Structures are given as structure tokens and as C-alpha cells.
Structure 1
Amino acid sequence: MFLPFAGLLGLIVSILIIIILSIKKKRIFRTVISLALCTVLLFPILLTLNVIKFAYPVSINKTNSSITIVWPIKEKSVVGWGGDTVESNLPHVIWASERWAYDILIEPYNSGSPVLEDYGIWNVEVISPVSGVVVAAFDDEDDIMPNTEDFISTEGNHVYIKIEETGTYLLLNHLKKDSVTVKVGEHVNPGDLIGFVGNSGSTSEPHLHIHHQRQDPTKALMPIFAEGLPLYFRDIDGKPMPEKGDIIVPHTK
């Protein structure tokens, strides 16, 4: 993480040197090379700011440990972001850990209202999409007003599950304060209630974030560098890997 900031400093210094050398009509070739190298070091920051729109370089066809799960919401919902491309999943595909993450919404959404109850997914039940063991369960963080940046942690209230079938991990974030119904060490099955959708963490409005990764999120020193894994859904109308704007109707049993 040090390199991008070193690149930023080097970029500023290189630009100043180029200006000075240009005024003095001296050669700037070496400084231009330094400028280019510093720009390369800046690449992670440019990705984060969406200056460069580039998906984390991994092929879905060469990634093992994909999983097919049930939809975590029982109600008709909308994919806010999801899929494998920059166009359909820009906030997530730039990160290794969230390469195939989803944000789930319910109408009404994206209204700009400051009232949490005005959003369709607010306080909606979240069910376990898999069989597995809960490795993290947290719901002490306050829900924030929509379209603000007053969050304490990026993930907010959450439940993380070690998937029985693969030994990989499923992360569900932005749950409502005091709403988590499971405990660490508890075994859950598909359809079990695990909490309710809130607006905690780094979130512009109430929604459910879900993604699949190889490493244990409770032990990772740098969570964003975990290996994100493909995530598919069964028993829904539409594609197994939904994309932005897709309407999802789960087949409840």
C-alpha cells in the first residue's frame, strides 16, 4: 500500500522538474521516464477513484472453488451491482476480494431519501444461502443516514459463513443494528434466518452486500487482497450469475 503514495509524491516532483527544465530549455527525457513509472505505481489509487476502469485480472474460467447458492432474500429484488464486467459491477470487480460480489436492492431504491424506512429492502429478512458454520457475527454498529459517510467500518454489521461444501467463505454485509440472529460457531442451513438488512458500514443506502472468497475473513490482515471467487445462484428466475438491473424472483419452497 506504500507504493501508490510513493508514486503520487514522485509524480508531483516529476511534473515540477519537467516544468523547470522546460523553462530552462533543458532535456526532460529522463524525467518523463520517471513520470511514467510513478504513474504505474499510482495504478491502485486510480482504480479506486474510478479514473481507470479495469477489472481485477482473473479469468472466471480458470478460477476454481466457485459455488452455487440460494438467493439470500426471499422477496422479489433487484441486482444493484453484480456480474463479471466493469459495466455491470464496477464498484466490486476492481478488487481481488470482491471480484464477483453483489449488491441487492428492493424497490423503491435510489430515491435520495434521508429516511431509512423509505427504502424497500430496509429491515428485510436475510437468510443463509448455504450450509456452513458461522465464523463472524456482528451487529453493534449504528445504521447511518442514506447518502452520508458517517460509517465506522467498511463492512458494517455482518455475518460470515464457512461453507461446508467447499471450505471457502461467504460474506454478508450492511446488516441492521441488533438484528443478527446467529452466533459464532453455530451451524446454519439454506433458508435459516441470520439477520435483517440495514444501512451500516460504507453504504449509500440500505442494501445487502454478498461475496465469496477463499481466505478466512476473520484472519486476513488485508481483507481487500483476499481471493474473490465466482458466486452463482440457483432456484431463481434468470441467469445463474445475475447482472446489474436484473430482477430476481426466488423460487421459495
Structure 2
Amino acid sequence: MRNIGFTNSILIGIIFLLWISLFFISGLFSVYAWTFLKMILPIVGLLGIIINIILFIVFIIRKKKMMKLCVNLIVNIVLVFPLLMTMNIIILAYPNDLEHAKPAVTVEWPFIEQTVVGWGGDTVENNLPHVIWSSERWAYDLVMEPYDIGSSNNEDYGIWNKEVHSPVSGTVIAAYDEEADIVPGSEQFISLEGNYIYIKIDETGTYLLLNHLKKDSVSVKVGDHVDQGDVIGRVGNSGSTSEPHLHIHHQRQDPTKVIYPILAEGLPLFFEDINGESMPKKGDIITRNIQ
């Protein structure tokens, strides 16, 4: 214990507690633990490594023992390790599963036209950009043919300006459409979400988020009650996006009250009356069954 040191012992205990909580404690505690591991501890570890390297040089010059510094360095490397997950060098989904993530909701498909799932599903392979974050654990990115064509014109993409139908009945708690659509592939975005509509779902009291809408296209306002199938906006290319698409996900916390968008607990999102699985995955071509 003396070689490890009091501070290192505390840090090791925190790391152990955080990892254990991810797999055995649900809710916001787990969300904060995941964020702390991926975003905060690596910064502490990097600072510790820099400080210890400087001390190594000083100790070598003064010919002092460096056992404790070696232990410090090992602990700081462990702190930095989750940075590899943040950089997608090591890919690990946020450790929540469909069985325990409640409540799930089953909603209507947001388009009348045939749609392609750009990203979606429960696994890293099918939903890489989303499953690594707690809030977007079961998010979808939806596109239409043609897509992924490398064009710099939004009008060349099939989903551009398509009507978005409300997948749920609920109350609009936030709506914004004043952000300009960006050039595809430029990533010259102003905000992560771009133009958006957030709906509090009648059935569950949880929240549905729809992002990257077209500038000046949102047809609802805060306080409006919408029914399934109502046209609420059009698809654009606003926010952090490589090309026109609709991002949609379901979460427990009110998105207008969370400190930061990723600090929310994502919840499963299923679709009814479509030609495929209720939780479609990357590459699925979806047609809505309209009666």
C-alpha cells in the first residue's frame, strides 16, 4: 500500500467503482460513470503522465528512487485507457441492453416514402456512431436513395426536403429551425443537433428527438400537441451531419433540461407497421405499411 500511495489507491478505487456501476447500476448514475470514464479521467491521466515524465527526468538527474513514480505512471496510463474508446480505436457499446432498458416505445415510421437505415440497431457493427454514447444507444440515421454519393448539393440527395411525420402522439417541448443547412461533407456546422423537434410522448412521458431538419421547415411550436402521422417538418442538413438525413432517438430525460446532450439515458425505439424487423438495422430498406 505504501508503494501504491494514498492518491493512487483512491484513483484505483474510483476506476473500479465506475466500471462496476456500468454493468450493475442503471439510470443516470451509469450515464455519468460512462461519461466520466470516457471524457474526464483520460484528461486527468494525460496530465498525470506529463507530470510524472517531468519528475522522472528530475529524479534521474538527482539519482533518486523511482518506484513510486513507476506506480504513478501505470495508474495514469489506466486512466487514459478509455480515451481509446472515445477515439473509436477500441469500440465498446454503452453497456445497457434491451431487456433492462425500460420503457421502450413502439412508434410509427416517420416517412411515407421508402427509406434506408443508414445507422440503426443494437450492435456496434450496425450502429457505430450511436451505441458508444448513452443518450443515443438506440438512435437511427435515416436516408433515401440516392445517398452517400459525394455530392456537394443537398438537392441531389433523395431524402432532402422530404416531409417528416410525427412518429408519436405527444406534446412539443422544443422546436427550432433557424440554423442554416450546411454543404454536404463540409462539417461546417454551428451546433451538433442542427434544427430539431423534441416531443414528450403521451404514452410514456419519455422523449423523442428528431434532428438535422431543414431551415424554416418546422411546422409546429412549443406547446403544440401532435398526433401520429402529423407532418411536423422536413429533412435538411443542419448540424453535425455528413449529408441530408434524419436522426431520431428516444431518451428518458427532458432534453431541454440536461446539462449536455450526451448526459441522458437512451431508451429502445421500435417501429410498427413496417416491412422489416421492429428494430431495423443498418442497410435495411424500409417501406411503411399504410392501410
Quick one: which of 108, 111, 114 aligns to 1:70? 108
| Structure 1 residues 188 and 14: alpha-carbon distance in aligned structure 2, compared to 1, 3 A threshold | same
2:130 maps to a residue whose letter is H
The aligned residue for residue 136 of structure 1 is: 174
Structure number with bigger Rg? 2
Q: Deviations over 1:22-48 (max 9, x none)?
A: 999997654454344333433554323
Indicate the SS of the match to 1:233.
strand
Indicate the SS of the match to 2:280.
coil
Q: For the residues of structure 2 that align with 1:76 and 1:28, how far apart are their CA atoms?
A: 65
1:60 maps to a residue whose letter is L
For normalisation by structure 1, the TM-score amounts to: 0.92
1:80 maps to a residue whose letter is G
| Structure 1 residues 43 and 248: alpha-carbon distance in aligned structure 2, compared to 1, 3 A threshold | farther
1:103 maps to a residue whose letter is D
Unmatched 5+ stretches in structure 2: 1-38
Quick one: which of 164, 180, 184 aligns to 2:222? 184
* Alpha-carbon distance, 1:113 to partner: 0.9
Percent of residue pairs bearing the same amino acid type: 63
Q: For the residues of structure 2 that align with 1:200 and 1:27, how far apart are their CA atoms?
A: 57
Q: Deviations over 1:113-141 (max 9, x none)?
A: 11111111111111100000000000000
More helix by share: 2
Unmatched 5+ stretches in structure 1: none
* Alpha-carbon distance, 1:223 to partner: 2.0
| Residue 114 in structure 1 maps to residue 128 in structure 2 | no
The aligned residue for residue 254 of structure 2 is: 216
Q: What is the RMSD computed on CA atoms of the aligned residues?
A: 2.2
| Structure 1 residues 168 and 40: alpha-carbon distance in aligned structure 2, compared to 1, 3 A threshold | farther
| Structure 1 residues 87 and 24: alpha-carbon distance in aligned structure 2, compared to 1, 3 A threshold | farther
Quick one: which of 193, 201, 204 aligns to 2:231? 193
The aligned residue for residue 91 of structure 1 is: 129
Q: For the residues of structure 2 that align with 1:75 and 1:44, how far apart are their CA atoms?
A: 41
| Structure 1 residues 19 and 49: alpha-carbon distance in aligned structure 2, compared to 1, 3 A threshold | farther
